[in-house]
Structure 1
Amino acid sequence: MNTNWVSLIGNIERDGNQFTLAPLPPSSYLPPTPNIQPNIPLALLKSSIEFENGIIELEVNLPTPSSICQIGLTSISGGTSSYINSTTEVFSGLNSLGAPYGFAIFKNNSWEPLIGSGQGSSITTQCWHQLRLHVQGSNLELFFDGVKVAITSQQIMRGQISLLLQSHERISVRNIKISAIEPICFVVMQFTDDYNELYEEVIRPTCEKFQYKVLRADDFYSSSVIIDDITRTIRECAIVIADVTPNNPNVFYEVGFAHGIGKPTILLSDRKREKLPFDISGVRTLFYDNTIKGKRNIEEGLRRHLDAITIKQT
């Protein structure tokens, strides 16, 4: 797949698969950098690749220990207006808010730290290093030369990848590789015949049409504690679908966990239920009738919900 990169800010020289920031006099733009160093030349590149889950890796050659190289991804809370002023992005990489390795959020022209590591150390210069970012759902892991150096939890939405470079001297990146991971839809429901039928005949095939890998808790076969598998999968998934018809404590625990980490969630409920619990009564819920026609209606309703989420994330 061909990937196009465009420099939104800064002077970039390209030689095949290598990009180099060739410093010019300071720009009048407010630098979109975690360190906010207004007198240091910078470049901000944007790619044509739509990314949500997967691996981004590159090689970088830092000219100075304080040079910045960071990968930017669009956050689930990002805006829809002009890129520079309103988009929320999560940046991960080298020299983030004073830490050699870390994550930070850029929103409304201001920065918020997420996590940093390596304080007190410095990165070797004038040689090539590998930088790799692994994204699965809301799990983000940063690797430097094969070593995991920082992790955080942040919900990412589908969007184009950014690359931020800043240095007084020439800083280069090369061999940028992007690989996608199939997004997961985690389904939360009671394991009885009625719900199994709804899952197999409606939920799973509908979600698979949207290119989701569909999982339920009964798909886990590891030796670890089941709740650990469930919470890990909720973090790693792109979306949660939960049937809240019966008062099942496991279902409500998992729905609460998903809401707590900001995971996009679709609730389903049979119309026979008189009222939803107060805590979720304000959440948009797809009601259905447990009939043949009702299953067709829920399939259509679920398709509209998934369409809306897909549009929001593109």
Structure 2
Amino acid sequence: MSAPTTPRRTIALAALTAVVGLAGSLLTAPTAAAPAREVGHTRVLARIQKPGFPAYVHVHTNGRVYVGTYTNPAGDAMRSRVFEYTGSGTLLRSWTVPGQDLAAPRGVQVATSDARGRLVVLEKSRGRVLTLDPRTGRFRLQATIPDSPDAGKPIPNYAAWGPDGALYVSDYGQAVIWRIPAAGGVPRAWFRSAALDGLEFGTTGIVYQPSTRSFLISQQTTSDPLDLLRGHLYRLRVRADGRPGALSTVWTSGPLDLPDGFGIARSGNIYLSLLGTNQLVKLSPQGRVVRRFPAANGSGVDFDSPSNATFLGTRVLVANQSAVISTPDHHVILDVEVGERGLPLHLPTRSRLR
């Protein structure tokens, strides 16, 4: 017969059992740092309803995901919509864009948000900059990009807040970066350059990097025929007086790669969608190609006119626009694991329009 256990020995045995159990669980449980997905693993986050043709994916500070839609190249009478999703891809709400010219090519891009939480929506058919308050569903006209007599119709494409709290807008149709004051008002041509003048395919992404006090700007092609329809990623520094500095080339693409939107990791690496050759490319901060994510990505939906790369945690969300072959089943948001986190959205406290 064993000796009876005293209360003190009972407590000690219980503590020892707990420690042994904890050690066993630590040995068998996966570590918190272990990645749930391999780098490059791609899946479909969400399928886009009509009218389809999703554009830039914006991740709001509220954790929700917003995407706008473009027109069907075959022609239809549908107005563009803005969709709202959770970070896991559940559709929550959508809004139909008012005031579009249904006789013209149309589309909207949810380019960013402001310090009041409103979405900044760039509208193609009339060259408008709108805000959408997701709490009320109210759209408000903030500005209209003017025509240039010698450059054609404006197409506001991407936008980023600058160091002064003003909104800077790239123009796909004109070789201009526009500046809209922090309090709202008339857009002014802040930077013009022949380097931004595309041969039909113009200026696309724009992201501000506070660490270098500069904008990174992507360009699908230039108007120089000797450039062989290659695209570029440029750096444009902002001088202390707020004026643009010199434009320099970070990276030059292959012919008809058609660089579109991009996202920047905290490491400085750049993830850039190539709309023309259906790839996602990872560049070092100096512009060296580190990795290419090919069209056949394993998700069941190949990259098909991918138009952006937006960080959500260690994932990059890509709008699959299918702009050329117009396949509705390809109108999705793709979710690519890249194994590193994105640079936080630059959102100054003054970043608000009217």
The normalised TM-score by structure 1 is 0.29
The normalised TM-score by structure 2 is 0.26
Q: Which has the higher contact order (CA 8 A, sep 6+)?
A: 1
- Largest Rg, 1 or 2: 2
Higher helix share: 1
